[in-house]
Amino acid sequence: MLVKLKGQTAIITGAASGIGAQTALLFSQEGANVVLVDLNSCSKTLAAIQETRKDAVFLECLGDIRDPEFVSATIARASDKFGELHILVNNAGTCSRLGLDTMTLDMWDRDMETNVKAAFLFIQSVVYPHMIEQKYGRIINISSVSGLNGGVTSGGKKDGRSGPAYSASKGAIIALTKWVAKELGEHGITCNSVAPGATESAITAGVEYDVGGQAIKRIGTPSDIAEAILYFATSESGYTTGQVLKVDGGYSFG
């Protein structure tokens, strides 16, 4: 069987559940060494990986992705174990579903630091010197259609809409993606973003979505998003950079 990521090393944040867990599983099945990063145990993800690939090679790094020292230590551990680092998936995120009138500064900072600052830290640490020296890299940032349209509305209910900090942070991720793509393209490094619509995850648990306006009448699954991430992680995507791929069941067009 042809595997698309054989011998490559991928770092995936938010790998304990949801999109991150499914991406780690898919990448492992495609032959990658996977570095699972999360604040919580990735034991369920690791069990699924080992069940589907007996010779799977992995590394679990647990800690706060907003902490520069943890990020640096994670990249160092991954490099020590695997050598070259080929793929980075900035997936971890938080979402405060509050309006401007009730949003606290702590909640704003949590979403901005988890969704944007952490991605910046990981990009900086993995690019310099690793991806620059090897003249190759694939960076995939998970944004959201909320970063494009100001927030997905849940069933028309105001309290189900993505909050201002989440929407702002995902818009920032899209801008960061394009900046990195322009800056690093000449070094063989691509940077793209996948923007999910409503998708089964810890962030959307308990929230009901009205999918009547979508072309595909269901919310997305982690597998739907992971397959899109996989394309950007492969060598075949080498002429694609700075792009935002909306995976939202036809919620938005254009």
Using the Cα atoms of residue 247, residue 204, residue 5 and residue 117 in order, give the sign of their dihedral.
Answer: positive
Structure confidence by residue, pLDDT tens digits, 75-104: 999 999 999 999 999 999 998 878 888 899
Catalytic residue from among 166, 231, 239, 251? 166
Q: Which domains does the chain have, with CATH numbers?
A: 9-246 (3.40.50.720)
| 120-147 per-position pLDDT tens digit | 999 999 999 999 999 999 999 999 999 9
The whole-model pTM stands at 0.94
d(CA 143, CA 148): 9
H or E segment and range at residue 144: none
Query: Considering only 25-29, 41-45, 48-52, 196-200, which range has the smallest mean pLDDT?
Result: 196-200
Q: Is 251 labeled as catalytic in the residue annotation?
A: no
- Of the candidates 143, 135, 157, the residue with the CA atom closest to the CA atom of residue 89: 143
Residue 2 has pLDDT above 70, yes or no: no
Mean of per-residue pLDDT scores for the chain = 93
Q: Cite the beta strand spans of the chain per DSSP E.
A: 9-13, 33-38, 58-62, 87-90, 137-142, 189-196, 244-247
Distance CA 214, CA 190 (A): 30
The pLDDT, as a whole number, for residue 156 is 47
* Cα distance between residue 2 and residue 36, in whole Å: 24
Q: Which amino acid is at 104?
A: T
Over 60: is that where the pLDDT of 158 sits? no
